[in-house]
Structure 1
């Protein structure tokens, strides 16, 4: 079985695939100083609850945009599952070209989303990921990664608005009943929701104009269904696209040789 680890800025998602289907997925808050033993205590209990055994894990793949978290995630794979993890980075075999100026700077999540989206939906396409940042990634008809757009995430924008304006409260995101807010909270919700709908439609429209061809639009992330209600631009919602990218990347690349961890192992 494959253990896939998606370490984002907000959460780390662990999921197990048995070769046919995902058997379970679990998330924990991202903390760069969390040790491999802390991960193990939490994850092993969840595996047992799901009827899975650590000995059944024979592959591991890690994608992370938090470099400081990689060391202990690697130790987790080596010490508790006795496997060397494949790490998603620009130098592995993606099966497509990365047509940007500095491929090593592209976040692993963006490449993983592109890999899985092209595999499942073909191209050309745009992948929108509603995460800590809201990203738009463009994939050509042949699967090549062409670059994209990075904008502040919705929750990040809400927090910044609350902290920068003394009289504005901290609010949750939701689709307002009307564009014109009749009180402060409704006005803030409208600005965030319809403002981001405008962002989505505007950026996708400009990408379409530059590409000179129709691009399918795939969205992922927890807020994707909410924003899909407000626009016809989003054609497909796929909540597991990053995990699928990890699974496909593991299929394309050989399993690395196990390296036993020591306290002085480099990342």
Structure 2
């Protein structure tokens, strides 16, 4: 088994992938990345998650980590070494990804975006536009030859919503969900409809602008990220919602660097 770990700004998402180079996810678990956990706590989380999925640490062949939160890495990496006796592979300089990054500063491209693009290109081909709905929302274009050449970064819907109720005295915190109507008659529904439809409109307009500036290129749009499922099936601009996209990308990257 390959354990894939995506350390994001809000959550640490752990996937148990069947086979060293396979991408069948047999278990997904989340830990908040806001808390300052010790290596022992991370180790206990991991071993318990394995047991919940019917596995033991002996079933783990290797671990690969994709991280955009450097301060978490020391404790998490230490937990892998201590509890599994493995030094995890970390996506970064020196790791072969199979992707050609042609942006102004390739080193500035987040490891999560790189893994998403590797997953999208290897699973769905190119050209492809990857829309990742997380703490931030990112759109990244990969051409037909696997070249990452352009992208957009904007506010995530939950991040924007938190600013709305955090900076206003009388607006409550509401669930981010698809509303039943835009014709709101109470504060909660009005907020949910406003957040949902203005964000969805921005997503559609962004994709349209990519098509326009790429000369009408017929790319496939792959959505991923925890909040992507909120918009699944509610717009013709998104072709596929793949919640395991980053794990598929990590599996492909691992296969290129298998130890």
TM superposition score normalised by structure 2: 0.93
Count residues with an aligned counterpart: 255
- The equivalent of 2:250 in structure 1 is 246
- The answer on 1:145 being equivalent to 2:158 is no
- The answer on 1:14 being equivalent to 2:18 is no
8 A contact 1:6–1:64 mirrored in 2: yes
- Three-state SS of the structure 1 residue aligned to 2:247 is helix
- The equivalent of 2:221 in structure 1 is 217
Return 22-31 or 34-43, whichever deviates more: 22-31
8 A contact 1:15–1:24 mirrored in 2: yes
- The equivalent of 1:265 in structure 2 is none
Q: Which runs of 5+ in 2 are unaligned?
A: none
Residue 206 of structure 1 and its aligned partner are, at CA, apart by 0.6
- Three-state SS of the structure 1 residue aligned to 2:181 is coil
Q: Which runs of 5+ in 1 are unaligned?
A: 256-267
CA RMSD of aligned residues (A): 1.5
Q: Distance in 1 between matches of 2:242 and 2:70?
A: 26
Residue 101 of structure 1 and its aligned partner are, at CA, apart by 0.9
8 A contact 1:175–1:190 mirrored in 2: yes
Cα shift readout 1:69-122 (whole Å, capped 9, x = no counterpart): 111121122121111111112442111210111111111111100000011110
Cα shift readout 1:210-262 (whole Å, capped 9, x = no counterpart): 1121111010122223213331101101010011111111111143xxxxxxx
Return 111-120 or 13-22, whichever deviates more: 13-22
Residue 58 of structure 1 and its aligned partner are, at CA, apart by 2.0
Residue 34 of structure 1 and its aligned partner are, at CA, apart by 1.3
